[in-house]
A and B are shown apart, each in its own frame.
Chain A
Amino acid sequence: MERHFDEELKELHKNIIRMGVLAQEAIYNSIDALANRDKTKASLVISEDVKIDELELAIDERCVDLIARLQPMAGDLRFIATAMKINSDLERIADLAVDIAQRVLELADKPLLKPLIDIPKLSTLSQNMVRNSIDAFINRDVDMAKKVLLSDPEADKLRNLIQKELINDYMSRDASTADRALPLLLVARHLERICDHATNIAEDVIYMVEARVVKHHPEELK
């Protein structure tokens, strides 16, 4: 039976998807700007962030309004609670894309320190994890959410690898490389944080669909 507020819940669902699209665009553009040393694109990521911030506030307000008016229970309650959390994760993902864009601006006028190998791997992984976590939300797909969770250790591994290389092979050998190595190190960190937020989204999707809390309970994943 269609309920009078189902339309409102669908609208919320759509807005989370919209937020997901904007966050993915921000990551894509910031990574693209990094790869092509494109200052214009990096600046665009920074200036566009305000749209994501506005949508975040609008979604938050809508969630509080729905809770107050509908007094949701069970699946509805889990959906709205999850939407609020995912909303905030997506906004943080977009902020991290802005952070990457700022690193691009720092790096763009300096000679390239080294060809980028592991950073593109980590960027691809982070984009996949974000896309899959949003797909898991859209399709209420627990298997997809689990796939995201299983990818997270790989992100940590890549970040450590990049960090180690930049510190051992560049910064400790030649301190003058620091102004080019440090931004790259931070990019790796930002990308890994993006993966963490995708992981949060995946965990919340599992809670939304199956009412199981897997966050901090890895044994629940089995």
Chain B
Amino acid sequence: MTDVGTLKKFRAKIIDMAVRSGSAHIAPAFSCLEIVYTLYTKIMRVNPKNPRWEDRDRFILSKGHGGLAQYVVLAHLGFFSNSLLDGYAQPGSMLGGHVTLGASGIEASTGSLGHGLAMGEGVAYAAKYDKKSHRAFVVMSDGECQEGSTWEAIMGASSFKLDNLVAVVDHNHVQSCGPIKDVLPSFDPLSDKWRAFGWAVREVKDGHNVKELESILKEVPFEKGKPSVVIAHTVKGKGVSFMENVPIWHYRVTNPEETKQAYKELGQEVAIDK
């Protein structure tokens, strides 16, 4: 199956999981799906058969509410079985509404924004100290670039010259209450801010284009002695027309009619009314 086909299948599965559990952040998962997929399948050194392999690259989904994207990719790679996905956020499940340690392949518990980058910084620092070649990849939301703690970590990581740390900002331009430009007009220019804090910055125009993501991410570190950040422009709710750029889909779950429509757009024949 092509990447595009696989990703459509993932989106349908995410809707299926959301409907089964009755609670999910669908649109935030859709906006970072290609980023997570590209990192896991084309960039990072990971081994599903040996998930705690010492030299693996570490992945932290700092925007823990996008966990559905990570879960479908981990299942796809065989970190755990697809059946685990079906129980998402239901009693007894290891997979929750925010990424939590437990299931194979999960490196960190997240959920509160602005925590992941500092953890990635510590992981990268330890790798340098131990003279190891593994890297720390942290996928963040643009919303969490409003957290002061994020900027503490940004300043720290560049001060410590952690060029084995890579942040990818899922810049979908929409936060929980509306477009970022309306909520916090001073948010942009985002790239300039990271650059001013000592990071090597690249922008990805289409954060849903796997080839574009891959070609840029393959180049990390962008500069020796500097941590790398990719600002990937994405669309919140990407892939389902009525979800795209509509803030309510930050946390809303589809009703049966919407579910049917979403499956149709994704070209999937997944059973509905579960």
Is B a genuine binding partner of A?
A: no
Binding site for A on B (CB under 8 A): none
Binding site for B on A (CB under 8 A): none
